[in-house]
Amino acid sequence: MSTTPRGRQFFLRDAGRLPAFAVWRVAAAATLALFAALAGATAALAQSDPAQAYPAKSVRIVVPFSAGGAPDVIGRVIAQGLSELTGQSFVVENRPGADGMVGAQAVAQATPDGYTLLVTSSSFAINPSFHKSLPFNVLTDFEPVSNIAAIEAYILGVNPGLSARTVAELVALTRDSAAKISFGSPGVGNSIHLVTELFKTLTKTQMVHVPYRGAGQALTGLIAGDVQVMFLTPPSSLAYVEGGQVRGLAYTGAQRFARLPNLPTMAEAGVPGMEDMSSWTGMFAPAKTPPGVLARLHQHVAKVITTPATRERLIQIGVIPVGNGPAEFKPFVAAQVSKIAAIVKAAGIEPQ
């Protein structure tokens, strides 16, 4: 006696007498029903626990600077890794303006669901000291996700047409009022602006500040000779220093930069006191983003950063992969805001 269930027996007996297109329609209907059930289950999961389903759609990463700067380069490396890891698109959107404040404000006002993120530089912690008022509160309108990468130090670069070949020669030139030396930065209050102001304070020199709309434009201005001096982040400038379009004079780190071993540190060049100046690139979400989503997002970011391919890419562009979580990153940002306020006050810089 056959053990085949009656319904299955009927299907097997009668399927052979059905036209081929009818069999196909039965199979297609069953497949569609299965996909509908899976979609319904995914939607139910997303509603009941958004963190478990995250990301369930495309994610926008706002970089509040123009293309070519360190935050943009690092942001695109991480976006690519997150896209590959999760199967969802992480799309970088450059929204430059007001030294990162335009893009940051857009994220602060976005729906706090984890689908609009900010990847920005340490100027995020500098802006409160350089501006009398901001359209957002750095410490309360954002949820720190991760310090993606740190930039140990800056390269002091000059246009090759400038006669200075050492830091001492540059200092001598800046003290000559006839030389009219100018320096570029991605904007007022940017970390590059701050490190240059510290250099001016320590060397008792004067240079005219020429702010640009982004690091890429400022670097272009340096190469073209529109400005003569600029402190540079390795990710955006290393190729130009190695290629001779920019002359490197010194490095602000405590040790020499491995990629440019012949470049002296600022202390070796006669200007100690700049070793603590470093930059970082971090990821933030709008305030009130659910803790579970933040935790899930950080898990993804940390996994991407620990992959050999991503780590190698970050190291090659001159940054140190970090990838810590909100518990470490949040107090770090608060401490940076306080530290920078002290530096700005010591330098006698008035908020604008």
Per-residue pLDDT of the chain (352 residues; tens, 9 = 90+): 444 444 444 444 444 454 544 444 544 455 555 445 545 544 444 455 667 889 999 999 999 998 888 899 999 999 999 999 999 999 999 999 888 899 999 999 999 999 999 999 988 998 998 888 899 999 999 999 999 998 768 999 999 999 999 999 999 999 887 888 999 998 877 788 889 988 998 899 989 999 998 888 999 999 999 999 999 988 788 899 999 999 999 999 888 988 899 999 999 999 998 886 778 999 999 999 999 999 999 999 999 999 999 999 998 887 889 999 999 999 999 999 998 888 788 777 777 7
**Does residue 271 lie within any of the structural domains?**
no
Could you tell me if 90 and 79 are in contact, meaning their C-beta atoms sit under 8 angstroms apart?
yes
Q: Which domain holds residue 338?
A: 55-151+278-346
Q: Are both 142 and 176 inside the same structural domain?
A: no
Could you tell me if 203 and 271 are in contact, meaning their C-beta atoms sit under 8 angstroms apart?
yes
**Does residue 40 lie within any of the structural domains?**
no
Q: Are both 109 and 176 inside the same structural domain?
A: no
CB neighbours (10 Å) of residue 349? 18
Q: Which of 184, 60, 194, 218 is nearest to 124 (CA)?
A: 194
Q: Are both 145 and 178 inside the same structural domain?
A: no
**Does residue 287 lie within any of the structural domains?**
yes
Cα–Cα dist 169/163, whole Å: 8
- CATH code for the domain of 282: 3.40.190.150
Number of domains in the chain: 2
Cα–Cα dist 180/149, whole Å: 36
Please report the pLDDT score of residue 47 as a whole number. Answer: 54
Could you tell me if 221 and 184 are in contact, meaning their C-beta atoms sit under 8 angstroms apart?
yes
Residue 80 buriedness (CB in 10 A; 0-12 / 13-18 / 19+): middle
- CATH code for the domain of 187: 3.40.190.10
Q: Are both 340 and 312 inside the same structural domain?
A: yes
Q: 209, 234, 251: which is the final residue of a domain? A: 251
* Chain centre to alpha carbon of residue 258: 23
Instruction: List Cβ neighbours of 77 (8 Å cut-off, separation of 6 or more).
Output: 310, 313, 314, 317
CA angle (99 as vertex; 218, 213 as ends), nearest 5: 35
First to last CA, the chain: 92
Q: Are both 164 and 214 inside the same structural domain?
A: yes
Could you tell me if 137 and 105 are in contact, meaning their C-beta atoms sit under 8 angstroms apart?
no
Q: Are both 169 and 225 inside the same structural domain?
A: yes
Q: Please, what is the angle between helix 191-203 and helix 326-346, to 10°?
A: 40
